Amino acid sequence: MREQKTVTPSADGIAASVRAAAKRGLPPVHLWNPPFCGDLDMRIARDGTWFYLGSPISRPELVKLFSSVIKKEDGKYFLVTPVEKVGITVDGAPFVAVDFEATGSGTDQVLEFVTKTEDSAIAGPDHPIRVVRDAQTGEPSPYVHIRADLEALIDRKSFYRLIELGTHSDGWFGVWSSGQFFPIIPSNELDI
C-alpha cells in the first residue's frame, strides 16, 4: 500500500500549477473543481496590494498570474488550479479599477474600466457599476463587475472622474454606460 503524501499549499506551487495550465486568455477556473487544500497566508488589501506571508508581492507578473485564477464561492475567495483550491483573504474586492476611458456622451456613453492587474470591463448590463455607502459615515465605495462574480473597487481618482460625467435620471444622480443608467446617490441627497 502506498503512503499518501500530504502537500502543504504554497504560492510557488500555485504559480507552477497555473503556468502549467495556462494558455491564451484567462484559465477556465469555472470548469475546475479540485479538492480544497486549506488556506494560504495570502491577502489582497483594499488598495489592490497582494501579500504573501505578510509581505507584499513585488512582482507584477506574479500578481497578474494569481489574479487570473481567483474564484468566489459562497462569499469566500480561492485560488484554483486544476488540482488544488486554496482559500485567500480579500479585503473588499479582489481587483481595483485604476482608470477608465469614456467614449460617447449621454445615454450613448460607454465606460471601459481597467484594473491594476490589467483586466478590463465595459460597464453595462453584464458589468454593472454599484455603489455601497458606509452606514455610519455615508462614504461611498464604488464597484464594477469584472468577471465571474468578481468585482473591482473603483479607485478614488476614477470615482471623482465618474462624478464629473454624472447626470440625473428618475430621482438619482449617476452615470450612463452601454445604454444603462447606474445610480450613485439619490438626487435629493446631493450637495450642490
Q: Is the pLDDT of residue 53 over 80?
A: yes
Amino acid identity, position 81: T
DSSP output for 88-128: EEESS-SEEEEEEEEES-GGG-EEEEEETTS-EEE-BTTB-
Reported confidence tier of residue 12, pLDDT bands at 50, 70, 90 = low
Distant-in-sequence, close-in-space partners of 160: CB < 8 Å, separation ≥ 6: none
Beginning with the edge strand found earlier in the chain, give each strand of the sheet holding 70-73 in spatial order: 55-56, 50-52, 36-44, 85-90, 76-80, 70-73
| Predicted confidence (pLDDT) per residue in 59-107, tens digit | 999 999 999 999 999 999 999 999 999 999 999 999 999 999 999 999 9
The angle subtended at Cα 26 by Cα 21 and Cα 28, nearest 5°, is 65
- Residue 96: exposure state from Cβ atoms within 10 A (0-12, 13-18, ≥19): buried
The model carries a pTM of 0.85
pLDDT of residue 192: 55
Task: Give which of 178, 96, 104 is closest to 142, Cα–Cα.
Answer: 96
Half-sphere exposure of residue 82: CA atoms within 13 angstroms, side-chain side: 9
Per-chain mean pLDDT for the chain: 90
Reported confidence tier of residue 26, pLDDT bands at 50, 70, 90 = confident
- Please check whether residue 72 is in contact with residue 6, taking contact to mean a CB–CB distance below 8 angstroms: no
Amino acid identity, position 157: K
| Predicted confidence (pLDDT) per residue in 120-176, tens digit | 999 999 999 999 999 999 899 999 999 999 999 999 999 999 999 999 999 999 999
The angle subtended at Cα 130 by Cα 143 and Cα 147, nearest 5°, is 55
